Amino acid sequence: MLAHEERHRLKRLLLVAAIIAAKAAPALLIFRLILPVTLVLISDTATALDGVSLNVGTLESRDWKLNGIQIALTDLSRTPQKLTLSIKQLSLPVPFNDLNLFDIHCSSFTWQNKELLCMHGRAQVRSKQWQSPTANFSFHISEKQSTLTLTDLQLADGAVSIVAKEQNNHWQIQIDAKAVNTVSVQKLLRPALVELKGGRINFKLNASGSHELIENFTLTTELHDLTGQRKDGRFATEALTLDTKLEAQNNKGLWQWQSHSNFKDGALYIEPLYLEADRQSMVLDAQGNWSDLHNRAEITSVSYKQAKALALTGNAIVKFDKDVTLEKADLSLQSDDLQKLSASYLKPFFEQTALEGISFEGTLNADFSIVQNSLTALTATVNRLDVKDAQGRIKVEGGAGTINWSSEEIFSNPSSFAWQQIQLYNLPIGPSRLSFLSRANSFRLLEKTHLPFLDGVIAINQLGWQAKNNEEPDVYFAGSLTHVSLEQWSKALNWTPLSGTISGTIPRVEYRNKTLSLGGEIIIKVFDGDVKITQLASSGLFSYFPKFYSEVEINNLDLDQLTGKFKFGGITGRLSGFVRQLYLENWHPVGFFAWLGTPDGDDSRHRISQKAVKNIASIGGGGASDILSRSFLSFFETFGYDKIGLGCYLHNGVCQLMGVKATGQGYAIITGGGLPRLDVIGYNPQVDWNILMERLNRISTSDEVIVK
């Protein structure tokens, strides 16, 4: 039979069980939001205690269930007594019902002044895919507040500690994880979007709320040597080192947040961008609001910096639905090193486009606005701009200017751009400046511009461009050439050197509704004569199959200037002619009627070299080569001639040849004059156009003449 004092102690023990039933379940409810994290911890260890024990059995509160509760009281002769608690299983509510706490033991459990205190506890957690090692566990429950502590929790080769508190239905939680193996964590999160191959993570979470509502949280993470990629290859990391901090406050369903990220080392690939820290950290700071109701994030401030390469600041509104939509953004960009900016952020977008191989140097300041994923306004200022092209198409040195653009048709802020030199392929353009208006889908030159070009000048009097939806743009141009050096031009294009200059006027050329038209006539002064182009027209100029039409008149060219430096051979005299009904498809002649010959009344000196005779004869299939090599005529370097003339009527791929006059055996290409006299007769009146082009190409590239 128990003594009076012992019976009193047993009553107190039963009261403890009642308090556990009344207090433990509400206290546990406080941790519902933290349990997805905290339940990845806990282990077994049981201590056999001597003394009085009580099997409470099962306690339930809403979706919580405690099975196998046992309370033991030892050291009955001492004050205070030693009270221990064991719980076989703790079942959790949805959505954490696949996790259960097992074998919870409190080796030092006391109840005093309406407080329950578990010291030196141990516990274990199990799920369908994972079972935790044992972890240190303690709690303190009172009428005013409750606390829960887990330490030494082993998670994925790392260590985790958790401290949770509850007071008047408000709770707080602190989670500290160190050196967690990301590969091991990934195995618990199948299926995984990213296949991880290595890395460690440290993180700290501080959160607070009321009932099931999270009101505030701060999450700090440190990623070390993270390597992995998505199966589709669109996202990957290599030895990534990244520090982040995210703070958020819930104000009646509207989350206000701030974040800081520091990309310190390693590489990151987000299709198509490939970024390397390369001893220059990249820092991203942002803050804003998030609404679950509208699936919208308002970024009130964002700042992204990468040393001198890039500094991006601004604000934005992002809509998250089936797709991510940038509803609105106002951003400013600054770069003191366009070379690094273009290498990291532009080059990937240039791949497999017309801009592939283009790189930039210099500085840039830009402000731009975006609405519904579309650019609506831009102001960009560049200085010390150099543009290089690996394919040698364009080169810019010493560029500077400001470009203003808006999607509004009424926009009127002008733009300007100046340079020290521009090179298109091998053709250099000297220092100059453009003033223009750029808005919506149009471009218009505001001032006449003179471009220094090969000791001459290109004058641009009018230039405009208007884009159209799903159609080719409208373009117009008017200008002139003045005294451009043909010698420098031919040298730049690796042609046989020419002499003299070229000048010309282009009154106005328009390309509208897929048709090119000429307002007036283009007159080009070259080789002491002129070339006049009329009835210029084209369709599908910017398509894959352009068509081109024109009429050309050639007047009184100096043959000595034209042929003097060609491998073709020298000729003196004058040359006139025409190309009528010229029609090209995809820049290949389809049909025309052409004539080139000595103009009537030409009183200039007429001489032709032996080499030129042979080459002209090879075009028409004449036998002049044999005659010159087998007779005394081989001793003469030049011959006098009366007239030279050769014509072609191209139809169905065949060129019908004609000369100065018809002869019994063919047609005369050269009629002799003076001594020694020499006539060149063509015997092949019809020649395939492609074969004729091969003959002309052979003449222009070789000193040898082969007569077929």
| DSSP per residue, 638-705 | EEEEEEEEEEEEEETTEEEEEESEE-SSSEEEEEE-SSS---EEE--SEEEHHHHHHHHHHHHH-S--
387 CB-near residues (< 8 Å, 6+ apart): 358, 359, 360, 394, 395, 396, 399
Q: Is residue 291 part of a domain?
A: no
- Per residue in 203-233, pLDDT tens? 999 988 887 778 899 999 999 999 988 888 8
Number of domains in the chain: 3
d(CA 149, CA 31): 11
Residue located via tokens 């102690």? 9
Write down the pLDDT at residue 79.
61
Q: Of 112, 143, 174, which residue is a domain's last?
A: 143
- Per residue in 182-209, pLDDT tens? 888 777 666 667 788 888 999 999 988 8
Q: Is residue 216 part of a domain?
A: no
Write down the pLDDT at residue 494.
77
Note whether 535 and 550 are same-domain residues. Answer: no
- Check whether 434 has a pLDDT greater than 90: yes
Q: Chain-wide mean pLDDT for the chain?
A: 79
Q: Is residue 358 part of a domain?
A: no
Q: Choose between 77 and 341: higher pLDDT.
A: 341
- Check whether 171 has a pLDDT greater than 70: yes
Q: Is residue 548 part of a domain?
A: yes
Of 134, 135, 132, 140, nearest to 108 by C-alpha is: 140
- Check whether 107 has a pLDDT greater than 70: yes
DSSP notation for 485-541: EHHHHHHHTTPSP--SEEEEEEEEEEEETTEEEESS-EEEEETTEEEEEEEEEEEST
Q: Is residue 107 part of a domain?
A: yes
d(CA 269, CA 621): 65
- Check whether 27 has a pLDDT greater than 50: no
Give the range of the structural domain holding residue 62, as residue numbers without chain letter: 1-143
Note whether 523 and 603 are same-domain residues. Answer: no
- Check whether 308 has a pLDDT greater than 90: no
d(CA 69, CA 14): 12
Q: Is residue 377 part of a domain?
A: no
Q: Is residue 313 part of a domain?
A: no
Among 264-273, 381-390, 513-522, 656-665, the least confident range: 513-522
Note whether 640 and 509 are same-domain residues. Answer: no
Note whether 585 and 633 are same-domain residues. Answer: yes
Q: Of 512, 539, 566, which residue is a domain's last?
A: 539
**Which amino acid does the sequence have at 697?**
N
Banded pLDDT at 35 (limits 50, 70, 90): very low
Q: Of 114, 143, 172, which residue is a domain's last?
A: 143
d(CA 126, CA 131): 4
- Check whether 288 has a pLDDT greater than 90: yes
- Check whether 11 has a pLDDT greater than 60: no
Q: Is residue 451 part of a domain?
A: no
Note whether 593 and 471 are same-domain residues. Answer: no
Note whether 568 and 502 are same-domain residues. Answer: no
Of 462, 457, 463, nearest to 431 by C-alpha is: 457
Query: Strands, DSSP E only, in 231-357?
Result: 235-251, 254-270, 273-276, 282-291, 296-306, 310-320, 324-335
Note whether 496 and 620 are same-domain residues. Answer: no
Q: Do residues 85 and 73 touch, judged by C-beta distance below 8 A?
A: no
d(CA 186, CA 157): 13
Going from the C-alpha of 286 to that of each of 257, 289, 312, 316, the distances in angstroms are: 8, 10, 11, 10
∠489-492-493 over CA atoms, to 5°?
Answer: 90
Q: Do residues 273 and 281 touch, judged by C-beta distance below 8 A?
A: no
Note whether 598 and 479 are same-domain residues. Answer: no
Note whether 519 and 558 are same-domain residues. Answer: no
∠163-165-171 over CA atoms, to 5°?
Answer: 120
d(CA 633, CA 358): 58
Q: Choose between 659 and 156: higher pLDDT.
A: 659
Among 94-98, 282-286, 303-307, 410-414, the least confident range: 94-98
Note whether 631 and 645 are same-domain residues. Answer: yes
Write down the pLDDT at residue 48.
36
DSSP conformation class of 632: G
- Per residue in 493-521, pLDDT tens? 777 667 778 888 888 888 888 787 887 78
Which two three-digit tokens encode residue 127?
A: 């799920």
Of 696, 625, 706, 629, nearest to 657 by C-alpha is: 696
Note whether 90 and 128 are same-domain residues. Answer: yes
Note whether 584 and 668 are same-domain residues. Answer: yes
- Per residue in 559-570, pLDDT tens? 888 876 566 778
